[in-house]
Structure 1
Amino acid sequence: MEVAQVLCMNGGVGDASYAKNSLVQLKGICLTKSIREEAITSLYCSALPRSLAIADLGCSSGPNTLFVVSELIETVEKLCRQLNHKSPEYKVFLNDLPGNDFNNIFKSIDSFKEKLQNEMESGPCYFSGVPGSFYGRVFPSQSLHFVHSSYSLHWLSKVPEGVDNKGNIYICRTSPSNVVRAYYDQFRRDFCLFLKCRAEEVVEGGRMVLTFLGRSNEDPCSKNNVCYIWELMASALNDMVSQGMIKEEQVDSFNIPQYTPSPSEVELEVLKEGSFSINLSELNWDTLDFEPERFESIGDDVAQWMRALAEPMLVSHFGEDIIEEVFTRYKQILAHRLSKEKTQLISVTLLLTRKT
């Protein structure tokens, strides 16, 4: 599986689209609002740029895409009024892999810019879509003041090589220790490369706010993180294997290119790479905790959220014909398991400054 070709969220605005199923991500964005405000305020007040370049890496599509941009511009405009400064012009770069639904974003930009002018009388705002992997250079040298990435950096550039994780689609409690190590090593290589590339692209004193889907402890197979949600999807696929609907080797050769790091794992890579200082590291979590009478809707809600994330990868590997059956079984398993067990969605957020 070539990750850069198949890793994208479901586009459009249909029932299974990311645009309709990204409330979990929006909640994470809202929880980190104060961190972004601190970062953009300190950046603007220290540099007073006449032109402010902002990049959102892993922007996806839907209402969340421009939410952070709007927040950042609003904060800067308030500062300009307080300081009696002329508004800067804003250069906004929206980056994701080429399969992302950029068209859906572009259709909303005119109304977004009109809203900015009506509500804030902001400086001029120029948008660019930048397709490409952020595990490589994406922008010119010293061209960015502020980088934001939310719920994207836990996706790896590729599935770790040599993974033999029979019956599983992600690291879990039954995975061999060498599989767990392979995933961690791939994360380290990817995140180090990400930092090196951004070090070339971000101006001295520039800021980055990065949020990962992560975990609170040092056990990557802990039941209290998202690996359990993938484990339940593997159960649905293995049920279909037992009934002859898909082949066993298809499941054995399907692995999710994701790693949810702990705060210490993320911080270690930043310190080792050396180009950025850590101003803040924060952990947030949301427990998937529902009322008993809502068991069936729990399965529906979480299955739709996961479908928006995983459907393109599943279609690429298994074909489109099995998708409805997979998610019908998956939501039933989710409803049953989540009625008895608590699972947490944990995020790790870093505020970084480019060293001078």
Structure 2
Amino acid sequence: MERDQPSLHMNGGQGERSYANNSSIQRQMMLKAKFILEETIMSLCSDSSPHCMKVADLGCSVGPNTLLLTSNIINIVHAACSHLNRDLPTFQFYLNDLFENDFNTTFKSLPDFYTKLLQEKGYRSGSCFINATPGSFYGRLFPSNSINLFHSSNSLHWLSQDPLLGCKGAASLNKGHCHIVSTSPPEVYKAYLKQFQQDFKLFLKSRSEELVSGGAMVLLFLGNHETRRRTSWEIVSLILSDMLLEGLIEEAKLESFNIPVYEPTVEEVKHVIEDEESLFLQRFEVVISAWVEGLNIEGGDDENIRAEIISKHARAAMEPLLSQKFDAKVINELFVRFQKKIVQVMKVEKLESTTFIISIRKNA
């Protein structure tokens, strides 16, 4: 069965189902990782003093989180330069995501961002430049030896393609499912792992070539640590399987669809990093968070409200991918069931996710 290449982007715009309005969980993780970003930038500023600091945000998506990162980095560099008694650099930010990403929504917020920057820091427009650099980060994006700092948040668990693409008997390999579930055969795990290893290896090689000598990366992405935790991808797969059995979706559509996400173990990540000899691992932190952490929930502990907000966040991230195979009626029903499933699961287990926060430097 032919499988289409996935087009990965979040829901654009500013509507109720947009990623811009449903990304507070990701924002919370960025705030938790800020101390590692501070450490990394302080180390960078101690070792070098670039006239123009070039920073790339890989998988920037859309919404307030993008410019929150930009603002955080400016503030951290400002504090580092004050501490080291050095002049502030000019900033060049490159916002990267796939071509389908809604860059326009982010750019429409730039005038207010620049106004706030001028009021708070006295930075005029000539002190900070922000550009878009569309394209896949699984490959080269910038000239060699040109970037001081790479940042990527909540992106590297997304794979470059359907991991079962080209596998012998792919349609029956994980039959009735579109992601790894407890009943998936070992071949499915192996296919997902192989795709992650290929993608992450290419990512690191590309970034190593683009970083200046001594440059750095701070990466945040979902992982799997010690106890395997339930994932939203698994829940979606189980619900679609039920809908298939009820005749609500076509078997051919489900057989030709796999969610291209892999949450690797610590060992799997470290193994790929160690193979890229031009880089060295500075810091590796594992953070376990409840799914509801960072959500602004009116109604306190009402499980239905929590489930509704979790469902909205999941839909904002997954709807564009799902819409390539399924119509609006199927997707609406899927997320009605998703919300009900979350309520059921929360009664019997903790819904938690694992995030890896990694700091990497290029050998000087």
Match of 1:175 in 2: 184
1:327 aligns with 2:327: no
| Aligned residue among 308, 325, 337 for 1:317 | 325
- Partner Cα separation in structure 2 for residue 225 and residue 280 of structure 1: 26
Match of 1:203 in 2: 212
1:239 aligns with 2:242: yes
Match of 1:155 in 2: 158
Cα pair 1:210 1:349 within 8 Å, conserved: yes
Q: Residue type of the partner of 1:295?
A: E
Alignment of 1:14-93 (within 5 A): 14-93=15-94
Once the 2 structures are TM-superposed, how far is the Cα of residue 108 of structure 1 from its aligned partner? 1.0
Alignment of 1:1-356 (within 5 A): 2-3=4-5, 6-122=7-123, 124-160=127-163, 161=165, 162=167, 163=170, 164-217=173-226, 222=228, 224-226=229-231, 229-288=232-291, 294-356=302-364
Once the 2 structures are TM-superposed, how far is the Cα of residue 340 of structure 1 from its aligned partner? 1.6
Q: Secondary structure, in 3 states, of the residue corresponding to 2:307? A: helix
Give the direction of change, closer, same or farther, for the CA distance of 1:225–1:334 in structure 2 (3 Å limit). closer
Cα pair 2:176 2:244 within 8 Å, conserved: no
Q: Secondary structure, in 3 states, of the residue corresponding to 1:256? A: coil
Q: Secondary structure, in 3 states, of the residue corresponding to 2:93? A: strand
Once the 2 structures are TM-superposed, how far is the Cα of residue 87 of structure 1 from its aligned partner? 1.7
Once the 2 structures are TM-superposed, how far is the Cα of residue 83 of structure 1 from its aligned partner? 3.6
- Partner Cα separation in structure 2 for residue 116 and residue 225 of structure 1: 41
Q: Residue type of the partner of 1:234?
A: S
- Partner Cα separation in structure 2 for residue 126 and residue 175 of structure 1: 47
Cα pair 2:292 2:310 within 8 Å, conserved: no
Once the 2 structures are TM-superposed, how far is the Cα of residue 116 of structure 1 from its aligned partner? 1.3
Gaps of 5+ in 1: none
- Partner Cα separation in structure 2 for residue 276 and residue 327 of structure 1: 42
Q: Residue type of the partner of 1:58?
A: G
Cα pair 1:212 1:261 within 8 Å, conserved: no
Once the 2 structures are TM-superposed, how far is the Cα of residue 82 of structure 1 from its aligned partner? 3.4
Cα pair 1:214 1:225 within 8 Å, conserved: no
- Partner Cα separation in structure 2 for residue 12 and residue 70 of structure 1: 21
Query: Per-residue CA shift, 1:66-103, capped at 9, x if unaligned?
Result: 11111111111123333443221000000000110000
Cα pair 1:11 1:19 within 8 Å, conserved: yes
- Partner Cα separation in structure 1 for residue 292 and residue 139 of structure 2: 38
Q: Secondary structure, in 3 states, of the residue corresponding to 1:284? A: strand
**Root-mean-square deviation (Å):** 1.8
Query: Per-residue CA shift, 1:104-149, capped at 9, x if unaligned?
Result: 1111112112211211124700011011000010011111000000
- Partner Cα separation in structure 2 for residue 180 and residue 25 of structure 1: 26
Higher mean alpha-carbon deviation, 156-165 vs 79-88, is at 79-88
Cα pair 2:290 2:351 within 8 Å, conserved: yes
Give the direction of change, closer, same or farther, for the CA distance of 1:87–1:125 in structure 2 (3 Å limit). same
- Partner Cα separation in structure 1 for residue 347 and residue 17 of structure 2: 23
Once the 2 structures are TM-superposed, how far is the Cα of residue 339 of structure 1 from its aligned partner? 2.1
Number of corresponding residues? 349
Cα pair 2:11 2:17 within 8 Å, conserved: yes
Give the direction of change, closer, same or farther, for the CA distance of 1:238–1:83 in structure 2 (3 Å limit). closer
- Partner Cα separation in structure 1 for residue 261 and residue 181 of structure 2: 12
Q: Secondary structure, in 3 states, of the residue corresponding to 1:65? A: helix
Normalised by the length of structure 1, the TM-score is 0.93
Give the direction of change, closer, same or farther, for the CA distance of 1:198–1:134 in structure 2 (3 Å limit). same
Once the 2 structures are TM-superposed, how far is the Cα of residue 293 of structure 1 from its aligned partner? 5.7
Gaps of 5+ in 2: 294-298
- Partner Cα separation in structure 1 for residue 301 and residue 309 of structure 2: 14
Cα pair 1:238 1:248 within 8 Å, conserved: no
Q: Residue type of the partner of 1:272?
A: D
Q: Secondary structure, in 3 states, of the residue corresponding to 1:205? A: strand
Once the 2 structures are TM-superposed, how far is the Cα of residue 247 of structure 1 from its aligned partner? 1.4
Normalised by the length of structure 2, the TM-score is 0.91
Cα pair 1:58 1:96 within 8 Å, conserved: yes
- Partner Cα separation in structure 1 for residue 144 and residue 56 of structure 2: 13
